[in-house]
Amino acid sequence: MAEQSNKVALVIGAGDATGGVIAKRFAREGYTVCATRRSADKLQPLIDEIVASGGQAHGFASDARKEDEVAALVEQIERDIGPIEVYVFNIGANVPCSILDETARKYFKIWEMACFSAFLTAQAVARRMVSRGRGTLLFTGATAALRGSANFAAFAGAKHALRALAQSMARELGPNNIHVAHVVVDGCIDTDFIRTHVPDMYAKKDQDGILNPDHIADNYWHLHTQPRDAWTFELDLRPWQERW
């Protein structure tokens, strides 16, 4: 059985940028990180880095769109590692396409990735948290959750739905001492992808014109540690130059 003092931070979609940095932030605070991606091999550098820094981390290959895999993942973590105190949903699905050319298959897949997988994973974790009477559920959103831009109909639809899911969960689970928050990340993030594919935007880094993943992660930690008399539901993070 898991040690009940071994607090777990579960990061769904621990990618090479934001998700991975959030995982490292919670590991530094003494949480055992359980990180997921569809490919376990891609997680290994993150796990190795956390362990090398003195933290504890486990990587799981899991498809968050599959209900049976989600159930098995949460059961394994709770049984063998510890109680999930923090849940972070960070799966991205930003694939632009004209509404005239969008396919039903891709539209549905984007919704599955950015919304349905959040429902499956958050529900499974929330059931455990409710039984303990505590926990934090954090969802990574985007500007698309607030407005639908041209050529982003699928992404905007999924992110709008994710925000609505988080709102509903916050209203239902808040009285159970579970803090639910939605984080709108508005702007380019300092990643290899932006450096390689959007060099003009990346050039703004020296002017604090793009988001630093470490600073994003600091805000996730802050949300988790907020006193419940002043919980934030929605937090907007954007560079000072970003138009909104």
* CATH number assigned to the domain comprising residue 156: 3.40.50.720
Strand partners, 55: none
pLDDT bucket at 1, cuts 50 / 70 / 90 = very low
Let me know: does 173 contact 126? Beta carbons within 8 Å. yes
pLDDT of amino acid 4: 45
pLDDT of amino acid 17: 85
Residues 147-194 pLDDT 10s: 999 999 999 999 999 999 999 999 999 999 999 999 999 888 888 878
**Sheet strands (E) in the chain:** 8-12, 32-37, 56-61, 84-89, 135-142, 178-185, 234-237
pLDDT at position 123 over 70: yes
What is the Cα–Cα distance from 184 to 124, expressed in whole angstroms? 23
Would residue 3 count as lying in a domain?
A: no
Would residue 243 count as lying in a domain?
A: no
Would residue 2 count as lying in a domain?
A: no
Domain of residue 69 covers: 8-237
pLDDT of amino acid 5: 54
Q: Is 0.85 surpassed by the pTM of this model?
A: yes
The per-residue DSSP string of 219-234 comes to HHHHHHH--GGG--SE
Would residue 244 count as lying in a domain?
A: no
pLDDT of amino acid 3: 46
Would residue 128 count as lying in a domain?
A: yes
Would residue 44 count as lying in a domain?
A: yes
Coil, helix or strand at residue 132:
helix
Would residue 84 count as lying in a domain?
A: yes
Would residue 124 count as lying in a domain?
A: yes
Strand partners, 137: 87, 180
Backbone angles phi, psi at 197, to 5 degrees: -100, -20
Query: Which percentage of the chain shows pLDDT scores above 70?
Result: 98
Over residues 96-118, the mean pLDDT reads: 97
Domain count, the chain: 1
Most confident of 10-19, 66-75, 201-210: 66-75
pLDDT bucket at 21, cuts 50 / 70 / 90 = very high
Over residues 19-23, the mean pLDDT reads: 97
pLDDT bucket at 225, cuts 50 / 70 / 90 = very high
Closest CA to 88 of 237, 232, 221: 221
Closest CA to 32 of 12, 6, 3: 6
